[in-house]
Each structure stands twice: as structure tokens, then as C-alpha cells.
């Protein structure tokens, strides 16, 4: 294992690991976490901190996550930082793994946590080279073999080309809550949260503002949602292609007809656009970081935001009555939409942060004000 303190190999058996990409690239390193071989979509995140939050973010379902920051694991693992009950990533790629964390809240090492959770990892590879490749060629499927077995490069290349695209699955159905859950039930204002893979800090942000939150499965129909007599509805973040979440899109389309205040976050923004009659498309390598600058249309305001998404809304496809609200200052892609007259809006970034800046937490306040 790679130590952070001395930057040397720990004495003891070293488990060989290999990451093979669909384009034929092969990266060899040291295995950690679970002993396993898995396939997924290889993506990168540029965050300096927040690896427990990223690993437990359901938006990463089906993905092999590469951290661009060179040192990971140095403050251990604290369950209080989790954004869901368990790791959601398929596999983990780091440059240097710290096996001796130092932090008052640490409960275990990253290696131990991933091993217990069945998630394989690879350390000691050139993550900068991998990131540059994904930025140029776009994200692609790959195979992470950290099972300690023989690693024939030719065989792994063949297997990597056969890894199916996880976005072809209904990933939302894999991460949504299996049952209805209610938080802060004594509150006077009720919000139904359509759970497409919600980060727990979204729920915390709403409860902190005095709302009762009814968390429902993504496939819940509009009639059942309206049966809770909500003052408003939030459509959460989640993984994969929003077009695969057909039942959620249909429910939101019906809710739009009903006139309730609606707030879409990340995938929820895309679902809102599809329900309104717009289109979405896949980005080359997505936005996964804590420092994405977003410009508010019609103003000179620029917000620094936390993001994790691989798809985006085609703003030109929005029907009459809808308009683009935010756009990315780096690549010009859409970062939010809103209805011109009604209290219905969505943002592509994460106002709840965790990890990341809290610049846009005011959007929760704006939504709560619309409930009145």
C-alpha cells in the first residue's frame, strides 16, 4: 500500500491491479479495497477534498471514479460525511493512497472501508495522464481488475471493450429509496422529494429550513405524490441518462399541469426539462468538481458550484414559457432552467454542496418562499 507520510510501499504482500480502458489503454498499479474485477464508466473528479461524499454519492452509480488530486485517504472515513448509506461507485482510482489517516473524526481507513463494502481500487497510477486522456477522448467504459490474479494485457483489453455502458441501464431505479420515508413530520410545510438518488444533504437542507420531507421512490406516480397534499415538490439528483427515468419524467409532466412549485436539482433539472418538452444530451467528459463557475443569465453574477453530472439540457430545445437560468462559464452549457411565470425551476449544480461551496444554498430559501 502506498503511504502518504513516506511515499513508499508498505512492507508486506502487494496486490497487483490493472485498469484497462475500452480504447486499449492499460494502467498498472497496486490494488486496495475489495479483491474484485468490475466494469464501469471511467470518469474523473477534480475535488481536493470530499472523497467520502463523492464515494457515497448515488450519482456515481455504475462508474469507476478517478480522483485527480494526488493524495486520497489522508483524513480517513467518517460516516457522518456520507451522502447515502453505502459506497455507490463501482471502482476507485487514485494516485497515492494514504493508509495512515490522521483526523479526530476518522473511524477507519479508506482501504478498510472499500474492502468491507466490496469496492475495488487501484493506486500508484498516473492519474494526470488518465484524466488528460478522458478530457480529450471523453469518458469511456473500462475494467478494473484488483483481484490479484494474472493480468494478461491482451485479455484485459478484450474484456474492457466488452464492458456495457452503464448509462444504458435505468440507474435511477437502482439507487432510489425502496420505501416512503418521512423526515421532520411535525413541520407545517410539506415537500415531496422524488428520490432519483438523492444526496442526504439535500434532505438536511430542507429539514433545517423547517420543512417536512416525504421521500418517495422515483417511480411514484403523480397521483400518489399529490395524495400527500404537498406545498411543493423537489426532484433530486441521480445517476445516468435522465431519459431512462421515464416514470419520473411522466410524473413530473403531470405535476407541471397541476401547478405546484417544483425544484429540480442536477438530474432533477434534466427531468424537469424533459417533462416540459425539452431535450438532453451526453457531455464529452461531464462536470465533476467543486469549482465550476456558473453565470446567472441576465445578470453579472457568477457562482462557484459543486457538480456531478454527465448529461445536460439542450437549452435551445426548451418550449415557450421556459428559459435558461444559468450557464457554465467554462463551456457555455446549460446549468439551470426556469419557467417564466410560475415557481418552477431547476439547477444543474448542487446548492447543498457537500463537498463544495455553499454559494448557492440560497436557492433552497427561494424555493421555500415560493411555497407560501
Residues serving a catalytic function are 266, 350, 352
Whole-angstrom distance, CA of residue 109 vs CA of residue 86: 15
Q: Pairing state of beta strands 140-145 and 37-45?
A: antiparallel
Number of alpha carbons in the 13 Å side-chain half-sphere of residue 322 = 26
In angstroms and rounded to an integer, the radius of gyration of the C-alpha atoms of the chain is 21
Q: Which helix (H) or strand (E) holds 181?
A: strand 181-183
Sheet containing 232-235: which strands, arranged edge to edge? 181-183, 211-217, 189-195, 232-235, 262-265, 344-347, 334-339, 322-328, 279-296, 302-314
Whole-angstrom distance, CA of residue 272 vs CA of residue 223: 18
The three-state DSSP-derived secondary structure of 68-133 is CCCEECCCCECHHHCCCCCCCCCEEECCEECCCCCCCCCCECHHHHHHHHCCEEEECCCHHHHHHH
Cα 332 to chain centroid, rounded = 21
Amino acid at each position: 500500500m502506498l503511504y502518504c507520510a513516506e511515499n513508499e510501499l508498505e512492507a508486506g504482500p502487494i496486490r497487483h491491479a490493472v485498469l484497462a480502458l475500452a480504447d486499449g489503454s492499460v494502467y498498472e498499479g497496486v490494488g486496495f479495497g475489495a479483491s474484485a474485477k468490475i466494469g464501469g464508466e471511467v470518469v474523473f473528479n477534480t475535488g481536493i477534498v470530499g472523497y467520502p461524499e463523492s464515494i457515497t454519492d448515488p450519482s456515481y452509480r455504475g462508474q469507476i471514479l478517478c480522483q485527480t488530486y494526488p493524495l486520497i485517504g489522508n483524513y480517513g472515513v467518517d460516516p457522518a460525511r456520507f451522502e447515502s448509506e453505502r459506497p455507490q461507485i463501482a471502482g476507485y482510482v487514485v494516485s497515492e493512497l494514504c493508509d495512515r489517516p490522521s483526523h479526530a473524526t476518522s473511524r477507519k481507513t479508506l482501504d478498510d472501508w472499500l474492502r468491507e463494502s466490496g469496492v475495488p481500487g487501484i493506486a500508484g497510477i498516473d492519474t494526470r495522464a488518465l484524466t488528460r486522456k478522458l478530457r480529450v477522448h471523453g469518458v469511456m467504459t473500462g475494467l478494473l481488475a484488483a483481484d490479484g490474479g494474472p493480468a494478461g494485457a491482451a485479455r484485459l483489453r478484450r474484456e474492457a471493450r466488452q464492458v456495457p455502458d452503464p448509462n444504458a441501464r435505468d440507474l435511477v431505479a437502482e439507487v432510489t429509496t425502496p420505501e416512503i420515508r418521512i423526515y421532520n413530520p411535525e413541520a407545517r410545510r410539506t415537500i415531496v422529494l422524488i428520490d432519483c438518488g438523492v444526496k442526504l444533504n439535500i434532505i438536511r437542507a430542507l429539514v433545517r429550513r423547517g420543512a417536512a420531507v416525504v421521500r418517495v421512490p422515483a417511480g411514484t406516480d403523480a397521483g400518489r405524490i399529490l395524495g400527500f397534499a404537498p406545498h411543493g415538490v423537489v426532484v433530486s439528483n441521480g445517476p445516468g441518462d435522465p431519459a431512462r427515468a421515464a416514470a419520473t419524467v411522466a410524473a413530473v409532466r403531470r405535476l407541471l399541469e397541476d401547478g405546484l412549485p417544483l425544484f429540480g436539482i442536477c438530474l432533477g433539472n434534466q427531468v424537469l426539462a424533459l417533462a416540459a418538452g425539452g431535450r438532453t444530451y451526453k457531455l464529452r467528459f461531464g462536470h465533476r468538481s467543486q469549482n465550476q463557475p456558473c453565470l446567472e443569465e441576465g445578470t453579472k453574477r457568477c457562482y462557484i458550484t459543486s457538480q456531478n453530472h454527465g448529461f445536460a439540457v439542450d437549452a435551445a430545445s426548451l418550449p415557450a414559457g421556459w428559459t435558461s437560468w444559468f450557464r457554465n462559464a467554462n463551456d457555455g452549457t446549460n446549468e439551470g432552467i426556469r419557467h417564466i411565470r410560475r415557481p418552477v425551476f431547476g439547477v444543474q449544480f448542487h446548492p447543498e454542496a457537500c463537498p463544495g461551496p455553499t454559494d448557492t444554498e440560497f436557492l433552497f430559501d427561494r424555493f421555500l418562499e415560493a411555497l407560501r
